[in-house]
Structure 1
Amino acid sequence: MSDIESMASENYSYRVKSLVMHFTAVNYQESVAALVAEGSVSSHYLIPKADDPSYPYKDIKVFQLVDENKRAWHAGISYWQGRSGINDHSIGIEVVNMPFCQEDNPADASLAAIMPQIMGAEKNRDLCVYPEFEEKQIQLLIKLSKQILARNPDIEPTAVVGHSDIAPSRKNDPGPKFPWYRLYKEGIGAWYDNENLTHHWLAFNQTLPSLALIQKALSAYGYDLAATGRMDQQTIDTLAAFQMHFVPWKVTGELDNQTAAAVFALLEKYFPTSYQQLHKIYQSEVLTAQINQRQVVENTQQSQLSKVFPELQYKTTDKIRNRDKFAAYEGRGELIIETDNAVSADVYINGQKLNLATFDQSKRNRVSLHKRTVNGLNSLRVENVLPQGSNIKISIPYPTLAYDVAPYKSLFRSVDRFIRDEIDAGFPGATIAVVYKGKIIKRTSYGYAKKYDNKGELLAHFEPMTSEHMFDLASNTKVFTTSLAIMQLVNAGKIDIFRPIQYYIPEYRGDGREMILVKDLLSHGSGYSDELNFYRPDNKYGDYFYSQNKLKTSRLLLTALPFESVIGATQRYSETNFMLLGLLVERITGMQLDQFSQDTIYAPLGLKNTLFNPLKARFTADQFAATEIFGNTRGSNIDFPNVREHVLQGEVHDENAFYSMQGVSGHAGLFSNTDDLAILSQMMLNGGGYGDVKLFNQATMARFLRPAGQSNNIGLGWQLANDKAQQTLFGPYASASAYGHTSWTGTAVVIDPVYDLAIILLTNKRHSKVTANEDNFEFATDTFETGNYGSIISMIYEALIEFEAQNQLQDKN
C-alpha cells in the first residue's frame, strides 16, 4: 500500500527459534507421499538417501518442501526451552533413514488385556536397530544447516535439537546414529567440553546427583520435565532422548554418572547461571549424603545395652532403678564406661562387684567381663555413682563369634565321612560352618570348587574347595539381603508391612494391585505366578514381557505383570514377590539394593565377602565355587538371546537376576561364604545385633519369624520349622522356633535360637552333568544327600544333642 511508510524498530527478533532434525523412518517415495500429499505432515526440507531403490535420481540433493517463512507440520505436540507448539517457530529437516523396529503389538492378541496402561515398556525403543546415515547425506545436511543458521540468527546452539528432544514420549528420531558431535564440530548445535564432562563424571562417581536434581537440570537445558524425584515414564523417555543426543553409546533411559555429567557439562557451558544454582544444590546433596552416611554408621553402631546411671527416680523404688540385663556367653564380654564428671561407681555383674579403677574421663573405659558372665542372660546393677550428681553411661556390645574348633573336632566325624564318601562318588564340593553358643565349632571344606571346563570335560587337576570360597546364594538372597533390608526399614519406621505397595510406589496400580500389601509379598500371598522368565522371548506371557534390561523389567513388574490367583487365597512361592520387594527397598531408600545392603548391613558388620556382581569388584573367578557347567544352556538344550555357555563362577546363575536385573535383584544375586554367613547368623541369634552394630530389635524379628498366613512354615521371607513339611531342610531335631532358607544352587542355612545354633551348608551341587528327558532336566548330583540338606543338618543336630547328653550323664556319675 502506498500509504504505508517504513520506520524500522530496533525492538524485534526473528520468528525461527529452533532447528529440528528428523529421520523419516520410511524410504524416499513413502517420505514424499507423507510429506507432500495433502492431509498429512510436512517439513521444510527433505534429504534423500543414495542407495534407496525408490530414489529416482542419480545424485542426491536437498528438496525444499515448505518455505522457511511458512509453518511446516513436522513437530506435532512438542516443547523446548519454554516454548510449546514448536511448529510455530522452527525449521524442520527430514533425512531419509529407515530403522528396523519391532511392531509395538503383542504376537498374541489375547494378551491385550494385560498390556500396561501406565509406564508400559516401549518396545519400539528397546528393539530398534538404527542404520548409519550416508556420508553424502551428512555433507548436504551440514551445508544446509549452516545456511539456515545464517538466515535465522536467533537459533541458539542449544536449540538445534532432535524430534525426540522436543517430544521424547512420542518420538525417537533422529536416533542414536545421528552425527550430533560432527555437526557441532562444524558449528552446528551444542556439545559439552570434555574437560568439564570428566570433572563432573569423577565427582558423580562419588555421589550421583539426585533424580530430582537431574530432572531440574534437564528442564533448565530445555526439556519438558518436572522435578518429581520419581522415575516416571516421562523421565525415562527424556533421559533416553538426551542420551540419544549426547551419550549415544549408552541409551538406556536410566540415570547414571555419565549421563548426569553430560547434563551438567552442557549447563556449565551454555547456561552458566542455571548451572551455578544447580551446582549449589548438588553440593548440598553431597553434604547431606555425607551426613546421612555418618547417621547410617551412628544408627548401626548401637550396643545391645546402652544406659545412663543413675536413672531418674520418678515413682520407682531402688529395687527397680539402676538395673538391667544383657545376653552373653560364659567367660566372654566387655563393658564400656563413659563419663564427663563421675570419678567412681559400684558396678555389679550377676551380683559380683567389678574391681574398677578411677574413671578416665577423656576416653571410653573398657572393662572385661570374662570372670563374671554366664551363657544366656546376665544381670547388671549400678550403685554409688560419685560424686553426687554425676553420672556414667554403660554400654555392653552384642556377643561376637569366637573360634573354638579343636574340642569338637571328633564330634562330627560321621558328617565328614558321609560327605567325603559322596565326594568320592561324584558330588562336587561343599563347605560347612557350625555356630554353637557363640562359637564357630566347625569350619570344614570338602571336595572341589571346580571340576569341569567350558566344554564339559573333566579338568586335569580339580580346583580344591576351601572355606574361603564364595557361593552363589541364589534364593538365600531373599533372606540375607531383602528380608534383612526390610526388617531394618520396618524397625526404623520407614516401612509398614500392612500398607499397600502403592503407598510407596504410586504407579503400582490397576488390576487389583492397590490391594497388595508389603506383607503379601513377604509371605508369598500376592497371587503372582511362581516364576516368569523375563529373559526369554518365549516366556509364559509372550514376547511383550521379554526383557534383558533392568529398567524395562522393573516397569513390567510394577505396571504390567498379571496375577494368577486371588490375593491371599494361597501362599505360592514366587520369585516375583521378592523382585518387587527389591524395587520397594530401592524406591524407599533412593539407593540400589546392593548399595543399600552394603552400606547398612554388610559393611557395618565387617563382612568382606558378601556382595552382588563380585566380578565387577575386586574378586576373580577362581575365588568362587562353580555352578552350572554349560552356563544356562543345560548342555545346549536351552537357547535364548545372549545365553551363557561357559562354566559359571562368580556370575549369578539365576537368569532373571543376571539378564533381566543386571545381577542385582531382591530374589537372587548375592554371593557369600561360610564365615560371613556365620556372622549374619549370630546377629540373628543375638536378636538383631552383633558387636556394636544393631540392625533391628527383637520385636521386629518376632514379627518376621512367625507364620504369616495359612501356612505354618512361611514367615515374612523366612522358612519356618513349624511342621513336617519342612523336614527336608530342618530335619526331625530342629525346634519349632528354627528358621532359615535354601536355594536352587545348593546352599542352606538353619538358625535355631532354642539350641543357640546355626548351621551353614554351602554346596555347588549344580556343578555336574545334566540329563534331559521329556519333562525336565536331571542333574547327576540330584540323588546325593549332601545337596538335599536335611540329612547333613540332622546329623549335625544329632551329634550336638548326643554330646550334651553325654556331658550331663557324666556329670551325674
Structure 2
Amino acid sequence: MMSSVMFCILFFMSACVLKDKTDVREISSPKGSYQLSQSYPIPATDEAFDSSLLTNQMETFYGCKGQGQLLIKTNDKDAFKIYVNGQEIFADLSNRKWQQIDISDFTKNGDNNLQVSRVASNNKATMNIKIPYPVLKDNTKEYTDDDNFKLIDQLINAEIKNGFTSAQLVVAKNGNIIKSSAYGNVNAYDQQDRPQKDSQQVTKNTLYDLASNTKMYATNYAIQKLVSDGKLNIEQKVSEIFPDFKDKRSDEIKGKDDLTIKEILQHQAGFPADPQYHNKNYDPDAEDQTTPDANKELYTQDRNEVMEKIIATPLEYTPGTETMYSDVDYMLLGFIIEEVTGQRLDEYMKQNYYQPLNLQHTTFKPLEHHFSKEQIAATELHGNTRDGAVDFDNIRKNTVQGEVHDEKAFYSMDGISGHAGLFSNAKDLAVLTQITLNKGGYGNQQFFSEDTMDQFIKAKDTDPSFGLGWRRKGQQLYSWAFSPLANSSTIGHTGWTGTLTVIDPVNHTSVVLLTNTKNSPVVDKKKDPNDFIGDHFLTGQYGLIATLAFDSQKDDQAANNSKLVDMVDSKYRYMKANQKAQTSADYAQLQSLLDVVDERKNGKEITDFMKTKRFKEITAFVAND
C-alpha cells in the first residue's frame, strides 16, 4: 500500500515537472538570418515536402547546453506540439505575435533535435519557427580554480619575467568562455634591446597583429560567404575574373590559364612562397639574398600595381602537382574578393562580418581607426631590419607598433592584403572562431551554410594538414601547434608574429592565443636574422598552452606537477643534445620552468623532484650560463 502511494506521489511530481511552462516573451518581428527558419506544416504541394512524412516535422540545430531560444509565430497556438530533444515544450503562446521561448533547459552541446507536429484538425493552422545560433557567454568564474589554467598563468608570467614578450588567451568550450587573460606589456624591449617594464600593460582589449591569421578571418571567411551566397565558385578559373591572368609564351612553367580558385585555396597554385614584391634587390639564390635590382621586374611599393606583378610572377611548379604554402595565393584571393564584390577587402569584411558581430577591436590599419599605439602590441623592435641584417627601399627602422609587420602587406599593399594586415584581440577572435563551431553563424547572423563550411574544412586528398585555406591537425601533422589532445578534424591557423587559433568541432572548443614574439631582439642576426628571442619560449611555440587548455577539464594538480617535472627534464635534455638550443633565450626559458617549479613546490611530485640529483644538476646548469 505504502509503495503504491509513493509511486503515485512520484508520478504526480514528475508530471508537474514535465509540464512546467518555459519562459515566453513577446518580441518584435525578428531580423537577420538564422540557422533554422521554417514554416510548419510544409505544404504537400511544396517541392520541399518529403513523401516519407516524418522528415517534414523533424529538424536538427546546433546548440550549447544552457542556452537557446525558439522564435515562434502561429495563428493557432493549440494546433501544434513542439519537442526539443524529445521533451515537450509547454509555453503560454499568443496567436499572431512573434514570441521568444527559452529552451535553455532542454538543449545539449552539439546537434539538437526539433520536432514540430500539427496535431489539431485545423488545416489553416501554421507556425513559423526561427532558431538563432549560439553566442559566447562569459563563464570564467566557474574555472577560477582550474589548476590547468593556474599552470598556464604561472608559465606565461614566469616566461615574461625571464624575457618573453606578452600574450592574450581566450579558451571557449560549449558556448562558454572559460578562460580569458592578458599578460605582459605592449612593448617588451626598448631600442637598445633592453627589457622595459614601463610600457602600457596588455589588457583584454589590446590589439595584436594577426599576421597569417588574416588569411582565415578576413580572406577565407569572405570567400566562404561569397561561395555560400552563390556569388563565387571555387572551380572558377582566375582568368574568368581577371582576363589578363594567363600564361605567356615565354613562361618556362605554364598553368595560369587554367588555375582555379580551389587550387589557390589549397596552396597548390605554383607560386613561390615569398617573392618579396617590396624589395627590388631580393635574390633568393644569393648567400645574403641580396643582389642589386635582381627583383626589379616584380618590385613595387604601390598597391595599384601589385596585381600586375602577381600576374608576372613566374610559377615554380605546375599547379596541382605540389603543395607550397605561399602568401601570393592569399594576396591573389584578396584581389579576387575585391573584384567580385566591388569593395576593398577591409570594407567588405567590416560590412559583412565585423560590424554585424559588433566586433569593436577587429580592423585593418588600426591607427586610422581611433586606436593609439598604446592600445596595440608592438612587433619588431627595429622596423623590418632584423636588427640591421636586412635593408631595402623605405624600410622602417623604429619599433613597429600599430602598423602591420608583414613587409608585402605594409610596403606593397598599403596595410590591407588577403594574407596579412588584420588586427584583433583574443575575445573578438573567439567570436569569429565560434562561427565555425556553430557551423556558419552567430546569434541572428548566418554568414555561410554548413555545406559550405564542410567543403572548406575537408582534408585535402594529397595533404591532410590542409583544407581549403585552413590548416588541419590530421592525426599528428599539426599537433605541435593545435595540441595532441585536439580531435583530428581540428582546424585553425598560425601567424608569424606569434598568433594561434584552434577550432575543434568535435569537442566544441576553441583556443585563441595571441603573442608578439617578434617584439624581442634577434638571437644572432648573422646566423639567422629571423630567429627572435621570443620564439624560444614555450608560450610562443603554441603547443604547450593549447594542450593545457584542451586538458583543462581534468583539473588534476598532481598530473600537472608531473607534467612540469617532465618538461623541466625534457628541456634540459634537449638543450644538452642541441647546440642551437643553448642560447641565452633557452637558458631563460629553462629558468622560467624552474621558477614555476618553485611556485608549486608544495606539491608532492615537485617536492620529490627537488630532492633528486637531477634537479640539482639542472639548477647548476642554468646557474652556470
- For this structure pair, what is the TM-score category when the shorter chain's length is used for normalisation? 0.7 to 0.9
Q: How many positions carry a matched residue from both structures? A: 504
Maintained 8 Å contact 2:389/2:529: no
* Residue 787 (structure 1) aligns with: 540
SS in structure 1 at match of 2:183: strand
SS in structure 2 at match of 1:452: coil
* Residue 799 (structure 1) aligns with: 552
Q: 2:104 aligns with which of 367, 370, 392?
A: 370
Q: 1:499 aligns with which of 236, 252, 264?
A: 236
- The structural deviation recorded for 1:529 is 0.7
Q: 2:156 aligns with which of 419, 433, 440?
A: 419
Change in Cα spacing, 1:396 to 1:777, as seen in structure 2 (3 Å) is closer
- The structural deviation recorded for 1:458 is 4.4
AA at the equivalent of 1:333: G
* Residue 92 (structure 2) aligns with: 357
Between Structure 1 and Structure 2, whose CA radius of gyration is higher?
Answer: 1
* Residue 9 (structure 2) aligns with: none
* Residue 679 (structure 1) aligns with: 431
Change in Cα spacing, 1:300 to 1:662, as seen in structure 2 (3 Å) is farther
* Residue 409 (structure 1) aligns with: 144
* Residue 264 (structure 1) aligns with: none
* Residue 310 (structure 1) aligns with: 41
Maintained 8 Å contact 2:299/2:309: no
Q: 1:560 aligns with which of 291, 312, 316?
A: 312
SS in structure 1 at match of 2:367: helix
Question: Aligned equivalents of 1:317 and 1:528: distance in 2?
Answer: 51
* Residue 658 (structure 1) aligns with: 410
- The structural deviation recorded for 1:773 is 1.4
- The structural deviation recorded for 1:318 is 5.3
* Residue 537 (structure 1) aligns with: 280
- The structural deviation recorded for 1:725 is 3.0
* Residue 347 (structure 1) aligns with: 82
Maintained 8 Å contact 2:163/2:195: no
- The structural deviation recorded for 1:317 is 5.7
Maintained 8 Å contact 1:343/1:387: no
Question: Aligned equivalents of 2:31 and 2:459: distance in 1?
Answer: 28
Change in Cα spacing, 1:460 to 1:782, as seen in structure 2 (3 Å) is closer
Residues 8-23 of structure 1: pairs in structure 2 closer than 5 A: none
AA at the equivalent of 1:498: E
SS in structure 2 at match of 1:544: coil
Question: Is 1:778 aligned to residue 563 of structure 2?
Answer: no
Can you list the C-alpha shifts for 1:131-159, whole angstroms capped at 9, x where unaligned?
xxxxxxxxxxxxxxxxxxxxxxxxxxxxx
Maintained 8 Å contact 1:430/1:446: yes
AA at the equivalent of 1:492: D
Residues 146-161 of structure 1: pairs in structure 2 closer than 5 A: none
- The structural deviation recorded for 1:316 is 3.2
* Residue 381 (structure 1) aligns with: 115
Maintained 8 Å contact 2:265/2:469: yes
Change in Cα spacing, 1:315 to 1:649, as seen in structure 2 (3 Å) is closer
- The structural deviation recorded for 1:330 is 2.0
Question: Aligned equivalents of 1:724 and 1:706: distance in 2?
Answer: 16
Maintained 8 Å contact 2:185/2:197: no
Residues 255-266 of structure 1: pairs in structure 2 closer than 5 A: none
* Residue 477 (structure 1) aligns with: 214
* Residue 229 (structure 1) aligns with: none
Maintained 8 Å contact 1:300/1:694: no
Maintained 8 Å contact 1:385/1:391: no
Question: Aligned equivalents of 2:280 and 2:244: distance in 1?
Answer: 25
Question: Aligned equivalents of 1:300 and 1:488: distance in 2?
Answer: 19
Q: 2:299 aligns with which of 546, 568, 592?
A: 546
* TM-score when normalising by structure 1: 0.60
Maintained 8 Å contact 1:432/1:443: yes
- The structural deviation recorded for 1:319 is 3.4
AA at the equivalent of 2:304: L
Maintained 8 Å contact 2:38/2:128: yes
Maintained 8 Å contact 1:342/1:390: yes
Change in Cα spacing, 1:454 to 1:756, as seen in structure 2 (3 Å) is same
Question: Is 1:722 aligned to residue 474 of structure 2?
Answer: yes
SS in structure 2 at match of 1:321: helix
- The structural deviation recorded for 1:343 is 4.7
SS in structure 2 at match of 1:380: strand
Residues 486-635 of structure 1: pairs in structure 2 closer than 5 A: 486-511=223-248, 512=254, 513-540=256-283, 541-557=294-310, 559-635=311-387
Q: 2:54 aligns with which of 306, 319, 325?
A: 319
Question: Aligned equivalents of 2:386 and 2:374: distance in 1?
Answer: 22
Question: Aligned equivalents of 1:735 and 1:334: distance in 2?
Answer: 29
- The structural deviation recorded for 1:440 is 0.3
Question: Aligned equivalents of 1:734 and 1:622: distance in 2?
Answer: 35
* Residue 73 (structure 2) aligns with: 338
Can you list the C-alpha shifts for 1:535-583, whole angstroms capped at 9, x where unaligned?
11202452222211001112111x3111111222210111011100100
SS in structure 2 at match of 1:515: coil
AA at the equivalent of 2:86: G
Maintained 8 Å contact 2:65/2:174: no
Maintained 8 Å contact 1:759/1:793: yes
SS in structure 1 at match of 2:150: helix
- The structural deviation recorded for 1:427 is 0.3
* Residue 432 (structure 1) aligns with: 169
Question: Is 1:397 aligned to residue 132 of structure 2?
Answer: yes
- The structural deviation recorded for 1:323 is 2.4
SS in structure 1 at match of 2:553: helix
Question: Aligned equivalents of 2:98 and 2:150: distance in 1?
Answer: 45
Question: Aligned equivalents of 2:240 and 2:413: distance in 1?
Answer: 23
- The structural deviation recorded for 1:454 is 4.6
- The structural deviation recorded for 1:386 is 8.3
SS in structure 2 at match of 1:651: coil
Question: Aligned equivalents of 2:328 and 2:274: distance in 1?
Answer: 6
AA at the equivalent of 1:366: Q
Maintained 8 Å contact 1:310/1:385: no
Maintained 8 Å contact 1:537/1:543: yes
Question: Aligned equivalents of 2:352 and 2:540: distance in 1?
Answer: 32
SS in structure 2 at match of 1:749: strand
Question: Aligned equivalents of 1:585 and 1:299: distance in 2?
Answer: 30
Can you list the C-alpha shifts for 1:762-787, whole angstroms capped at 9, x where unaligned?
01111111231145342122211110
Question: Aligned equivalents of 1:797 and 1:459: distance in 2?
Answer: 33
Maintained 8 Å contact 1:433/1:678: yes
Deviates more, 1:492-501 or 1:713-722: 492-501
**Mind listing any 5+ residue stretches in structure 2 that lack a counterpart?**
1-28, 249-253, 284-293, 560-625
Change in Cα spacing, 1:321 to 1:568, as seen in structure 2 (3 Å) is closer
AA at the equivalent of 2:32: Q
* Residue 749 (structure 1) aligns with: 501
* Residue 443 (structure 1) aligns with: 180
Question: Aligned equivalents of 2:529 and 2:520: distance in 1?
Answer: 16
Change in Cα spacing, 1:500 to 1:467, as seen in structure 2 (3 Å) is same
- The structural deviation recorded for 1:434 is 0.4
AA at the equivalent of 1:606: N
* Residue 578 (structure 2) aligns with: none
- The structural deviation recorded for 1:374 is 2.3
AA at the equivalent of 1:371: D
Deviates more, 1:606-615 or 1:704-713: 704-713
Question: Is 1:301 aligned to residue 32 of structure 2?
Answer: yes
**Mind listing any 5+ residue stretches in structure 1 that lack a counterpart?**
1-297, 807-813
Question: Aligned equivalents of 1:715 and 1:379: distance in 2?
Answer: 29
